[in-house]
Amino acid sequence: MIQFKLPKIDIPRVGLPAAVQATMEEARVKLAHRPKLLKQFLNCFPNTLETTTKLMDDGTTFVITGDIPAMWLRDSVEQVIHYVPLAKEDPDLQRIIGGLVKRHMMYASHDLYANAFNESANGWHWDANDETDMSAWVWERKFELDSLCFTIRLAYAYWQETGRSDIFDERFKGVMEGIVRLWQTEQRHFERSDYRFQRRNCPSIDTLRNEGRGMPVNYTGMIWSGFRPSDDACEFHYNIPANMFAVVSLRQMKDIAKWVFRDEALVSTISMLGEEVEHGIRLYGTYRHPEYGLIYAYETDGYGNYCLMDDAGTPSLLSIPYLGYADKNDEIYQNTRRFILSKDNPYYYEGSAAKGIGSPHTPPGYVWHMALAMQGLTASTDKEQLAMIDMLEATDAGTGYMHEGFHADHPEQYTRSWFAWSNSLFAQLVLQGMKKGLV
């Protein structure tokens, strides 16, 4: 595979907003009795602002993932989402987060199918030879259903937290209408969609089969996705957690259409699409497991074939309550949770240092820090949540930061030493533990 060898983008250090500094001071008091955890929190909580965030002259905000010089729609949202609850009275955070929403709108109005973008139209690509409708703005054009869901997630959370509606301009409405049209198209991918993606001389998980169209699917009402949140190709192209996320996003878009834009026709269209996707999940997205009962599948093709697993990235089956699709005590979710946190999930690993969910994206036996943090954030008991914090604290390999995957027996063997999303999710969990008095 031919790739550009690119220098790291120059990301000037952003001064820490007052609300972020106040939270760090609070941590110095509440975590004083746990010096290692305190050090990790003080490293990870501001990591996105200190190392990956760039305020642009046009009022937008550019956020790289860390060790890759491009902005993923998904990652950039989760890198800053833990700052949103602090933004109501902090104009600096409002500038950063509101600017990121505007950056998303700029990118989405350029290409709704792309998952990652460049800072400028510099022509940098993950692979210069990808066979798809690429442009100079696009770093990678893998269609991942969840990407645009994260765009809506950030905008909605920012609006609800701060009450600010200045992000909802005509461009935002145009993008929202474009998302709806795209998702309607991808409900019937083979009949209506022109999207194709092929990458040559690469692992099979990096490209779509069937001349770039993906494997056959039956109509279900759900939305087709080429790739998973890991950027790996779907096995069956109805990814269930991504469709759940789309249902939540449609609920949020309906609120925006109703209360901001006062467009009842758009409200009606969004409602119908949401009902169709939800019906598809209920009809095609569950599986009667002989041991765990009715569970959610990870993927299906609508023909009765299922992929039973969970992956470490968000959206995942583990993250269903975090996304807002169902309560953590929901019976089907609890059945699913027992399955995915067992060795019946092919990407669940247990070792002497850790146990948790990994990914086909990383080597066998590697648990992801993000999956452990998500397990803590969705835990039904304080005991489980505290256990996840303890496990995360113990497996940083002495670096003071979180990583992508690490060997369950040897945490010093890990991937991605600079992965801002993982740092942010860890900080979100520790902050929740602090607020509850668990740590």
Cβ atoms of 99 and 80 closer than 8 Å: no
Strand order from edge to edge, sheet including 306-307:
238-239, 299-300, 306-307
User: How far is it, in rounded angstroms, from Cα 51 to Cα 68?
Assistant: 12
Nearest to 283 by CA among 268, 297, 272, 269: 297
Residue type, 174: G
Q: Kindly give the confidence (pLDDT) of every residue in the chain, 439 residues in length, as a single tens digit, with 9 standing for 90 and above.
A: 233 444 456 666 678 999 999 999 999 999 999 999 999 999 999 999 999 999 999 999 999 998 888 999 999 999 999 999 999 999 999 999 999 999 999 999 999 999 999 999 999 999 999 999 999 999 999 999 999 999 999 999 999 999 999 999 999 999 999 999 999 999 999 999 999 999 999 999 999 999 999 999 999 999 999 999 999 999 999 999 999 999 999 999 999 999 999 999 999 999 999 999 999 999 999 999 999 999 999 999 999 999 999 999 999 999 999 999 999 999 999 999 999 999 999 999 999 999 999 999 999 999 999 999 999 999 999 999 999 999 999 999 999 999 999 999 999 999 999 999 999 999 999 999 999 999 9
Instruction: Give the per-residue pLDDT at 1.
Output: 28
Instruction: Give the per-residue pLDDT at 6.
Output: 47
pTM: 0.96
Instruction: Give the per-residue pLDDT at 13.
Output: 65
Instruction: Give the per-residue pLDDT at 67.
Output: 87
* Sign of the CA dihedral running 83, 252, 111, 234: positive
User: How far is it, in rounded angstroms, from Cα 196 to Cα 209?
Assistant: 10
Q: How many CA atoms lie within 13 A of 197 on its CB side?
A: 26
Instruction: Give the per-residue pLDDT at 8.
Output: 57
Residues in the chain: 439
User: How far is it, in rounded angstroms, from Cα 69 to Cα 299?
Assistant: 30
Question: What is the DSSP secondary structure assignment for residue 95, as one 8-state letter?
Answer: H
Instruction: Give the per-residue pLDDT at 391.
Output: 98
Nearest to 249 by CA among 149, 151, 157, 319: 149
Residue type, 260: V
Task: State the greatest distance between any 2 C-alpha atoms of the chain, in Å, as a whole number.
Answer: 60
Instruction: Give the per-residue pLDDT at 14.
Output: 72
The ranges assigned to domains in the chain are 90-111+128-133+143-344, 347-439
CATH number given to 90-111+128-133+143-344: 1.50.10.10
Instruction: Give the per-residue pLDDT at 15.
Output: 85
Nearest to 193 by CA among 217, 168, 162: 217
Backbone angles phi, psi at 48, to 5 degrees: -60, -45
